[in-house]
Structure 1
Amino acid sequence: MVAARTHPARSVATPVPGASWQAHVRDANQVSAQLHQIWRDYGAERNAASIAQTSSGTDLGTMPVARAATMNLISAARSRRDADRIRETIASLDEIRPSRATILYSDTSGPIDPASGLDVRIELLEQTSARGRPATVFECITIDVSAENEAQLASIASPLLMPDLPDVLWWATDPIDTSQLFTELVDVCDRLIIDSAMATQTAAGLRHLCSFAGEMREDVALGDLAWARLSPWRRLTTQFFDAPGTLPVLDLIDDVSITYGNSAHHWSGFSGALLYAGWLGSRLGWRTPGELLPVRGDPNVWRATLRAGSSGREREVSVTLRPTARPLAASTLLDVKLAADGGKAGVFKIDRLDENEISTSSDMPDAASIIRTVFAPIPGQADLLADQLRVFSRDPVFEAALLFAAWLAPSGFTGVAPR
């Protein structure tokens, strides 16, 4: 067994002292003017510090600082708690940071306030230098309104986009949304990032995303944090069949069992389980006659019988999804088992062992069993977001998996066990 390793300590961006502002405003011009003033004051303070060091003859050296020039990131939430979570995630981004992060939220739990205007907070955040790179400074703007005034958010977000940079929308709330805010923000963005695990109705959420993916502009890329959580599971699955001798076994797989996270402390891993099954089905040319159905005697377990193979050589493929409350599954998977030809041609397993490691095993006739342990830490929210921020093209593999998952998803089931 390989000794468990952990993530290196993450450097979190912290507020630059004195480089912040907070007020109630009515238009974007006030925000833009204040941003310019904050940057002027910040630059003047750094110049004064450098001159003072030179005049005193000290050789402390002013650490170089770079202003991030990567992208505009707009994030949307529906509560102060989610807005705070978004800010924490953005501050924890490593290696890739937005030039300007704008967090928008309308507090649906707050008192009714028909008065117009927006509460705005601006701050400069600094990521300390690391691995020979200079410190990086970027902007974080938080804008909130009452639920009645949500339509104002889009009108102020668009003028705040820095020119000549890609625009990314991180919709950090339920992806089933047809609000004016969602529509207007998508219209100005080059990439949309959602988390299908947050859908209150999983089947409806996946089908909504399918419809949206089919209708959105060709130059807009859709990303899903639930899909990003599956990266190690998809990678390890493909590695089973890298060798030429194992590749034909793919056409014999007839049983798939997936255990997904279903804890009250995390978003459900149900959408992740559906996307994993959708990935297998779309890649291997399986066909689904309908959605998953509850297993008799255990309504928390879902099963579907798919079809595979060409006419005259068809076979059935059983796909089973089981929930678990184990925290290790978090918002994704705990284990996967693939069997080929009833297990006679091979059995392949992937199991999450702990927060840092995943175990894989393969058993095939006339071959030695192979068991290995792989370092695959459970990614945090900042890791997932950073991976998605590096992608600006559409992912046809994800979109095919999403379509298949939407076909499989049982209508009306949220992904949370009815206990």
Structure 2
Amino acid sequence: MAELQTSRLIPRGAGMTIDVDAIERELADLWRSSGRFDARGVEVALSRTSVLTLFVYASDAARAEQARELIDQLSSEHPSRVVLLTGQDPGIPGQDQSATEVSIQCKLGVAERYAPCYEQIAITLPADGLDLLPSLLIPLTLPDLPSFLWWCGPAPLQDRRFARIARAVDRVILDSLDFARPVRDLVHTRRLHDQLKPVDTIVSDLNWARIAPWQEMTARVFDLPHCRWALDAITDVWVVSGRYEHLPPNPSQALLFLGWMGSRLGWEFDDAVSRPDGCCISMSDANGQRIEWNLCFEPYAARLHGHMLSVQFQARRDSEQATFTIARGGLDRATVKLSAHNRQQQLLDYAFHHALFDLRRLLVREFQALAADPLYEAALAEAEGLARSVEPWLI
């Protein structure tokens, strides 16, 4: 499929001001003046298509380039007005002179007379440009269409200005894998959710979608007739997450997973203690039975830092005892395997490939969501309390 692009630079004015009116004028002029011809000389009509407004904040140039590639992949499924906001690195000279770029990106199929197109606005923000964001997001949002803010990089959740920025859109998409202080930032995510709920801005976390395979496998195993007894007889759980040696441990996935189970099953927090390789959280079920959740971290490559690698449940009731293990394996650890056994035999052995580990699919899922996810909200509320309990050891 051929690609067409036409673009124009808008020089930066004096100071920190970004002229939104100039951006709209240049885009309108691009649409009026843009005409393209295919290889046969036949004129191709450029079709302006948008189903949403997507704001992407990239904390550095490398993340901005990654975001550009993903936006291009998403454009055929979710054509949008895209506003790419790149944070300026004060250590790189000459960025103050960078201009805003407006462009029209089109994809042309073979022998087609029209090309669906989307608008892209790329703005490099000055250092500490958070104050500028509300004045950009609100006027650049297309009317009568949903607006999303994908924060690509560590979100400044402890900055009071961030809530004001988030209020300018319908949904703000975070990724707790990128949190600079994972445990503390999970607490601030809950606070942000509570601040934004009255204005109907939805907070979502890409990490929540990443644990969908673990939720699916957990529900699958405890729904089997010969395994249902074990759900009310869990005594110990071991959750292993990857940790890159140069980064602090990130238990966000594990805490959201535990928050999901605890909120669905009515478990209550008892206490938490430190372990040499992590920590142990004690819970009690509705019958008062104690459940020990052991959060451990295994040295691994940077690409799986913070990702859950395995979950093992141990259940015991009278003379019955069983172990259920869910683990990632295979090429790129994209296969989820479930096994279950008791003292006598293997009860279950099952594996499947799960595509939700792919960032593009995670974003598509977010764009298709029309409302807040009550399961995520309940899990986040539970995870926030758990995060506070383990913060002394997992900072």
TM-score, length basis structure 2 = 0.85
**Secondary structure at 2:269 match in 1:** coil
What's the CA shift for 1:174? 2.2
Cα distance change, pair 346–208 in 1 and its aligned pair in 2 (3 A): same
Equivalent position to 2:291, from 298, 312, 317: 317
What's the CA shift for 1:173? 2.8
Equivalent position to 2:316, from 333, 341, 360: 341
What's the CA shift for 1:126? 3.1
User: Residue in 2 aligned with 1:411?
Assistant: 391
Whole-angstrom distance in 1 between the partners of 2:94 and 2:55 = 24
Q: What's the Cα RMSD here?
A: 3.2
Cα distance change, pair 272–129 in 1 and its aligned pair in 2 (3 A): farther
What's the CA shift for 1:393? 0.8
**Secondary structure at 2:261 match in 1:** helix
What's the CA shift for 1:176? 4.1
What's the CA shift for 1:157? 2.7
User: Residue in 2 aligned with 1:228?
Assistant: 209
5 Å-filtered alignment, 1:188-267, equals 188-218=168-198, 219-263=200-244
Q: Are the aligned partners of 2:279 and 2:393 in contact in 1 as well (CA < 8 Å)?
A: no
Q: Are the aligned partners of 2:233 and 2:315 in contact in 1 as well (CA < 8 Å)?
A: yes
- Asked if residue 304 in structure 1 is aligned to residue 281 in structure 2, the reply is yes
Equivalent position to 1:165, from 145, 148, 153: 145
- Asked if residue 27 in structure 1 is aligned to residue 19 in structure 2, the reply is yes
Cα distance change, pair 338–408 in 1 and its aligned pair in 2 (3 A): same
CA deviation vs aligned residue, 1:267-320 (integer Å, no higher than 9, x gap): 965211111111111111111124x4321xx1x32111111123xxx1110001
Amino acid at match of 1:226: N
Q: Which has the higher strand share?
A: 2
Amino acid at match of 1:35: L
| Structure 1: segments with no counterpart, 5+ residues | 1-10, 55-61
CA deviation vs aligned residue, 1:235-262 (integer Å, no higher than 9, x gap): 1111112234433321111211111121
Whole-angstrom distance in 2 between the partners of 1:339 and 1:128 = 55
**Secondary structure at 1:35 match in 2:** helix
Q: Are the aligned partners of 2:59 and 2:154 in contact in 1 as well (CA < 8 Å)?
A: no
**Secondary structure at 1:137 match in 2:** strand
Amino acid at match of 2:364: A
Q: Are the aligned partners of 1:302 and 1:322 in contact in 2 as well (CA < 8 Å)?
A: yes
Q: Are the aligned partners of 1:73 and 1:100 in contact in 2 as well (CA < 8 Å)?
A: yes
Whole-angstrom distance in 2 between the partners of 1:341 and 1:174 = 42
| Structure 2: segments with no counterpart, 5+ residues | none
**Secondary structure at 1:147 match in 2:** coil
What's the CA shift for 1:50? 10
Whole-angstrom distance in 1 between the partners of 2:284 and 2:174 = 31
User: Residue in 2 aligned with 1:67?
Assistant: 48
What's the CA shift for 1:324? 1.8
Whole-angstrom distance in 1 between the partners of 2:325 and 2:168 = 44
User: Residue in 1 aligned with 2:42?
Assistant: 53
User: Residue in 2 aligned with 1:391?
Assistant: 369
Cα distance change, pair 66–369 in 1 and its aligned pair in 2 (3 A): farther
User: Residue in 1 aligned with 2:254?
Assistant: 273
Whole-angstrom distance in 1 between the partners of 2:4 and 2:193 = 39
Whole-angstrom distance in 2 between the partners of 1:266 and 1:125 = 38
Q: Are the aligned partners of 2:137 and 2:169 in contact in 1 as well (CA < 8 Å)?
A: no
Q: Are the aligned partners of 1:106 and 1:150 in contact in 2 as well (CA < 8 Å)?
A: no
Equivalenced residues, count: 382
Q: Are the aligned partners of 1:306 and 1:318 in contact in 2 as well (CA < 8 Å)?
A: yes
Cα distance change, pair 65–345 in 1 and its aligned pair in 2 (3 A): farther
5 Å-filtered alignment, 1:50-129, equals 52-53=41-42, 66-93=47-74, 96-110=77-91, 119-127=99-107
**Secondary structure at 1:216 match in 2:** helix
Amino acid at match of 1:53: V
CA deviation vs aligned residue, 1:6-29 (integer Å, no higher than 9, x gap): xxxxx9xx8633344453254101
Q: Are the aligned partners of 2:243 and 2:299 in contact in 1 as well (CA < 8 Å)?
A: yes
Among the aligned pairs, what percent are the same residue? 24
Cα distance change, pair 52–112 in 1 and its aligned pair in 2 (3 A): closer
What's the CA shift for 1:154? 2.6
**Secondary structure at 1:238 match in 2:** helix
Q: Are the aligned partners of 2:242 and 2:309 in contact in 1 as well (CA < 8 Å)?
A: yes
What's the CA shift for 1:224? 0.3
CA deviation vs aligned residue, 1:376-400 (integer Å, no higher than 9, x gap): 2462322211211111211111111
What's the CA shift for 1:88? 2.3
